[in-house]
Structure 1
Amino acid sequence: MAAPTRRDVLTASGATLVAAPAAALADPAVTDRLSADLDRYIGFGNKASGGAGDTACGEWLQAELAAAGFRVERQTFTVPWFEARHASLTMGRDSAPLIPQAIVVPTGAGGVSGPLVRIDPGAGASGPLRGAVALLDLPFQRWSSAVAKPIREPVTAAFAAGVAGVVIVTNGPTGEALALNATGTAPMFPGPVGVIAPKQARPFLADAIAGRRATLRIDGEGGARAAFNLIGRIDRGAEDWIVVSTPRSGWFDCAGERGPGIAVWLALARWAGRELKSHNLAFLCNSGHEYENLGSEHALRAAAPPPGRTTFWLHLGANVASRDWHELGAGMLMPLPSADPQRFLVTSPALVDVARRAFAGQSGLEMAYPSGQGSAGELTNILAAGYAGVAGIFGAHRFHHAATDDARCVSTVHAAQVFDSCRVMISGISAL
């Protein structure tokens, strides 16, 4: 049976969306290809680095780059992996599934048990932590990484105080457990850590006040496996390069997080291969993203053109063109026809005005910021490597890092708008 398309999923959910402006659909051939590429990316399923979905997606993209005239190479590196047999928090009759926090420290089949103690990042712990199972109740936010100070510091402090394990409540718009990025070389914490959905955490938060005993179980198989970056090049013999990069991996299906970025990246590769004759081209697609941009670090060290020969680097990160939603409370969301504005466009200071003109009218992206005001994700690494002409899109839509980041979260219209703006921006910069 064929996998459902985005149209199937939206129809089944009862969502009726207003048509977008016709100007975004000026080239039916481009938008049809963007739509097909979005469906293809989503259809690969789970994109965990080095897993079956990530590998199959990489093979598809390699073939697409080659068909667009690029000479394509793979850059292989090692990533962690873990497949859970069991991951849960249990107290009496209450039991809830968990996302094991990477790099996983398993509990073993029997789990670890102790009094359940709530940790409020602002108010501290509800009881003694030694021997306890700590429940870290995060404030409401679109969480994405365990490296973030509000997560890393209280979890580290809890283990220093002697907890047996930690369960993180990722309070956010969906009410779901959110997978958290982590460093890729060693476990961040000395003991087992899991993530629980806020909508399933309520009975445990109540029990934590009473200090009742709970059992944290994270059991499975893990280790290290190979993943690969893609590097597609067209060397025209020009003096300088234009680079476009995007990650493809992530914790789940990553439809809204990664799909539009992949589709726009492919559309730009096809367009630039045909039309952009003034520069050499390098199109990079990285795995290892969820391990704090591990693949990007490898690409920067060994695969990217040098800063001194790079006119412009465009990075397409998370939430390039995801759907916006009305929040109705208690994790209830209704889809909107517009794009989620919680996306940022950051550029080198000299390119801010160029970017603002190119992205005028696009929510979130219309307000390009100079890179000195901050960046995120792989863009931070690119800037730190000394590239002078840089632009990058990044953000977190409402289903960011949730298992339900699926076909409902994307729209061809929004991706087409971003493609057109990127094309205009690259054309203008390459002509300078």
Structure 2
Amino acid sequence: MKASRRGLLLGAGALTAAGTAARSASPVAAQDVDWLQQTLERFAAFGVKAAGGSGDNQSGVWLEGEMSALGFRCERQMFDVPYAQVRTATLQVGDQRAEVFAQAIVSTTGAGGLSGPLVRADAPGGLAGAIALVVLPARRWVSTAEPLIARALADAFERDAAAVVLVTSGPTGEAIGLNVSVAKPPFPKPVAILAPKDADPFVAAAARGESARLVIDAQVGERPAFNLIARLDRGAAKTLIVTTPRSGWFTCAAERGAGVAVWLSAARQLAAAKPGVNLEFVATSGHEYIYLGGEEYLAHHAPKPDRTHMWVHIGASAAARDWHELAIGLRPLPSPDAQRVLTATPEVIEKTRAAFAGISGLEAVYPADKAHAGGELVNVIQAGYAPAIGLYGGHRYFHTPRDDMRCVSGELVAPVAAAFQAVIAATLP
């Protein structure tokens, strides 16, 4: 990957009065729930949020305008990310044809595709010239760095497979896009994700070793992306940092939208409250490349630990809908998915527990250490920042094309937004 473009471009905007939000985890006013709903819908409407693409960039520009209107000075921290403009991505055996997700960092087959026997990767023997099919066990998958996936890919390519197709078995039947690091060499040959709902005929064909054709025809390369850095300088000795990622493989309505709404609501409240700390709110891109934007901000722009009051990270699936898993399929619930984790450093863990008491999945606040912390907060803690608070999670439609507005609502986000505002207020001088 070529050197990052790390220039800082100054944003602009007029000042307006900031709205107020709840200061505690008490019930949130109807107008605040409505505002959160509108914020979620606006974010979802930008479409696919792949880093550096139109949806990611448009959401960044929108947030820049919102933050400028609150009085924040906005900058864009530029860096390069891989991309793939996919024209065709399919797997075919005989008359059976399915769309696949071209897994980043994308290696293409060309328009003509590649053909070879479709073979289960767990079968003994060599895989020379074969398209290896890896059927993963059911899980809410996140990354190619997960040991089972990493081992399966390494094994298939060591056995000379021409390509690998992963079946990301999970709770929805949808293909699950996987985060990937740019710090490691890309896959030597094409890798695709096949949705479990489409997999049965291909699993049967692989058992027979039938011939298959994989097509991943795409324009690939690098393009610029940007972190939005919004600062409100109060002339204080220390700065409160609040971060949230905004990019991801698909629309990310709940995965990213919930965090963006919590982040923006906190900015509105703090701009009006005028606390005795500087404010730095950061919406990062490049998250799907295993925290690339977060690493760029941490390495090149973040205030030093001794100049930081606290770091608050609002990660994935902050407030996503839960679903019943029934024989007839998934059915939506009015309650939140509890598969979300909150961690805090010792200085603020009790205040965090008090603020999030009674919020499912977040009331069990864990120590922010290597065993419990997740997402970008891992790097933040390793860099010596404390106090620090971080949330991460993975709802049922996490990293799938169907993470849309069915998966999130203002009612689900409101208590989480109020709790974050409460714990921040409890730590302010």
TM-score (norm 1): 0.91
Partner SS for 2:303: coil
Note if contact 1:168-1:196 (Cα within 8 Å) is conserved in structure 2. yes
| Other structure's SS at 1:229 match | strand
CA distance in 2, matches of 1:125, 1:244: 48
Give, in whole Å, the separation in 1 of the partners of 2:39 and 2:158. Answer: 47
What's 2:61 paired with?
A: 59
Q: CA deviation at 1:255?
A: 0.4
The structure that is helix-richer by fraction is 1
Instruction: Specify the alignment match of 2:356 in structure 1.
Output: 359
Q: Is the 8 A contact 1:118 1:127 kept in 2?
A: no
Query: What's the offset of the Cα at 1:408?
Result: 0.3
SS at match of 2:188: coil
Q: Distance in 2 between matches of 1:26 and 1:189?
A: 47
Contact kept, 8 Å, 2:28 with 2:418, in 1: the verdict is no
Query: 1: distance between equivalents of 2:346 and 2:167?
Result: 38
State the alpha-carbon separation in 1 of the partners of residues 375 and 50 from structure 2. 17
Specify the alignment match of 1:333 in structure 2: 330
Counterpart of 2:106? 104
Counterpart pick for 1:80 among 75, 79, 82: 82
Q: Report the alpha carbon displacement of residue 187 of structure 1 after superposing the two structures with TM.
A: 5.0
Output one character per residue of 1:107-136: Cα deviation in whole Å (capped at 9) or x when no partner. 1122222221113xxxx3255312211011
Structure 2: distance between partners of 1:186 and 1:78: 16
Pairwise CA distance, 1:103: 0.7
Preserved contact between residue 275 and residue 428 of structure 2 (Cα < 8 Å): no
More moved, 253-262 vs 372-381? 372-381
Partner of 2:95: 93
Structure 1 residue 146: deviation in Å?
A: 1.1
Residue in 2 that maps onto 1:389? 387
Match of 2:276 among 275, 278, 283: 278
* Aligned position for 1:408: 406
Residue 115 of structure 1 is matched in structure 2 by: 117
Amino acid across the alignment from 1:270: R
User: What residue number does 1:294 align with?
Assistant: 292
Quote the Cα distance in structure 1 between the aligned partners of 2:327 and 2:290: 31
List aligned pairs for 1:14-413, cutoff 5 A.
25-119=27-121, 124-125=122-123, 128-184=126-182, 188-329=186-327, 332-372=329-369, 373-413=371-411
Matches of 1:216 and 1:379, distance apart in 2: 38
Q: What are the superposed Cα offsets for residues 128-172 of structure 1, whole Å, 9 maximum, x if unpaired?
A: 312211011001000111121111111011101100000000000
Where 2:348 maps in the other structure, the secondary structure is: helix
Tell me how far apart the structure 1 counterparts of residues 297 and 253 of structure 2 sit (CA, whole Å): 24
Secondary structure of residue in 1 paired with 2:347: helix
What's the counterpart of residue 15 of structure 1?
none
Q: 1:277 to 1:24 in 2, by over 3 A?
A: closer
Q: Is the 8 A contact 2:126 2:160 kept in 1?
A: no
Which is worse superposed, 378-387 or 339-348?
Answer: 378-387
How many Å separate the matches in 2 of 1:276 and 1:246?
Answer: 21
Query: What is aligned with 2:9?
Result: none
Distance 1:61 1:337 in 2: 28
Shift of 1:29: 3.2
- SS of the counterpart of 2:149? helix
What is the identity percentage for the equivalent residue pairs of Structure 1 and Structure 2? Answer: 49
SS in structure 2 opposite 1:260?
A: helix
The code of the aligned residue for 1:142 comes to: R
Distance, in Å, in 2 between the alignment partners of 1:174 and 1:115 is: 28
Counterpart CA distance in 2 for 1:26 and 1:392 is 22
- Are the equivalent residues in 2 in contact too, given 1:241–1:310 (CA < 8 A)? yes
Q: Distance in 2 between matches of 1:304 and 1:147?
A: 26
Q: Distance in 2 between matches of 1:161 and 1:109?
A: 25
Q: Is the 8 A contact 2:89 2:101 kept in 1?
A: yes
Matched position secondary structure for 1:58:
helix
- Distance in 1, matches of 2:351 and 2:138, equals 35
Deviation at 1:24, TM superposition (A): 5.8
1:173 shift after superposition? 0.5
Counterpart CA distance in 2 for 1:281 and 1:350 is 20
Matching residue of 2:10: none
Show structure 2 runs of 5+ residues with no match: 1-24
Q: CA deviation at 1:185?
A: 5.2
Change (3 A) 1:88 1:127: farther
- Give secondary structure in 2 for the equivalent of 1:239: coil
Q: Determine the C-alpha separation between the residues in 2 that align with 1:88 and 1:139.
A: 22
Q: Report the CA distance shift for 1:126/1:137 in structure 2 as closer, same or farther (over 3 A).
A: farther
Following superposition, the deviation at residue 410 of structure 1 comes to: 0.3
Verify the 8 A CA contact 2:239 2:278 in the aligned structure 1.
yes
CA distance in 2 between counterparts of 1:43 and 1:140 reads: 30
Q: 1:351 deviation in Å? A: 2.0
Quick one: distance in 2 between partners of 1:407 and 1:164?
Answer: 38
Distance 2:215 2:148 in 1: 24
Q: Secondary structure at the match of 1:61?
A: helix
CA contact (8 A) 1:103 1:187 kept: no
Letter in 2 for 1:342: Q
Answer yes or no: is the 8 Å Cα contact 2:240–2:279 preserved in 1.
yes
| Alpha-carbon distance change, 300 to 54 in structure 1, aligned in 2, over 3 angstroms | same
* 1:333 partner amino acid: L
TM-fit CA distance, 1:28: 2.9
Change beyond 3 A, Cα 1:170–1:97: same
